[in-house]
């Protein structure tokens, strides 16, 4: 049994490493797609409506990538920890934050197990389009509970369940969308109360070359950690 677990862990580490390499390679041109920028703007606007961000808040953007959301939220809060497993994505984020004069964003390079950050110091944790790349979401949810202070918020956006056609390249894709009701249950099991689940954007793209456009809705789930 232990050897099976070891093999599973090694394969998961390889999958994570492969995904990180792909994001490293894509970092320099990540923000060049208008649809990607539009999606980030829609998610950020929805987060700002649902979460009471304020100038005293310390927040984390989990899976921050190049910081499309971290850079947009930074003026609303005291500080943003931009956490990602891709060093190249964080390098692009740091350069763009510096160019924009945003001095309150701190890049944080996470290891595959996210153990390089374990402090419950965040007033809010946000994440966009990252969950479908993570195999063990329940484990991540436990980390979110550790990182978020009592009374803090999580705001997580991702694809609603889809038919597997959204990603033409399946490498690094662990889930064909995320069931928000299931995600809410996992968060509630570790001490959060769900505040809202809404569809906040719809991506339109052809599922294959030459096919008609298909709708892929994106949800935002907002929850608050119990206690004060």
CATH number of the domain within which 36 lies: 3.40.50.150
At 145 the pLDDT is 94
At 7 the pLDDT is 40
Question: Which stretches of the chain score pLDDT less than 70?
Answer: 1-32, 115-120
Q: How far apart are CA 101 and CA 6, in angstroms?
A: 46
- Per DSSP, which regions of 21-147 are E strands? 58-62, 79-84, 105-109, 122-128
- Strands 148-159 and 192-205 come out as unpaired
At 112 the pLDDT is 78
For the chain, the straight-line distance linking the first and the last C-alpha, in angstroms and rounded, comes to: 42
At 130 the pLDDT is 94
Q: How far apart are CA 89 and CA 99, in angstroms?
A: 15
- Structural domain total, the chain: 1
> How much of the chain is helix, strand and coil, in % rounded to 5?
40, 25, 30
At 5 the pLDDT is 40
Q: Which domain holds residue 55?
A: 2-225
At 117 the pLDDT is 62
Please indicate, yes or no, whether the overall pTM of this predicted structure exceeds 0.85.
yes
């Amino acid at each position: 049994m232990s050897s099976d677990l070891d093999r599973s862990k090694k394969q998961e580490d390889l999958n994570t490493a492969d995904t990180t390499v792909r994001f490293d390679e894509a970092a320099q041109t990540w923000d060049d797609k208008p649809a990607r920028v539009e999606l980030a703007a829609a998610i950020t606007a929805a987060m700002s409506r649902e979460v009471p961000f304020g100038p005293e808040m310390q927040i984390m953007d989990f899976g921050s990538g190049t910081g499309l959301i971290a850079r947009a939220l930074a003026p609303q809060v005291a500080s943003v920890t931009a956490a990602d497993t891709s060093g190249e994505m964080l390098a692009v984020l740091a350069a763009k934050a510096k160019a924009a004069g945003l001095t309150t964003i701190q890049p944080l390079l996470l290891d595959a197990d996210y153990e390089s950050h374990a402090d419950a110091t965040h007033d809010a944790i946000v994440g966009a389009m990252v969950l479908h790349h993570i195999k063990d979401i329940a484990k991540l949810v436990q980390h979110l509970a550790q990182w978020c202070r009592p009374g803090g918020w999580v705001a997580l956006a991702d694809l609603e369940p889809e038919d597997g056609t959204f990603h033409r390249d399946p490498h690094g894709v662990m889930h064909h969308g995320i069931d928000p009701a299931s995600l809410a249950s996992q968060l509630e099991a570790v001490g959060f109360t769900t505040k809202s689940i809404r569809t906040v954007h719809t991506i339109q793209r052809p599922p294959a070359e030459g096919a008609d456009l298909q709708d892929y809705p994106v949800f935002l789930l907002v929850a608050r950690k119990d206690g004060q």
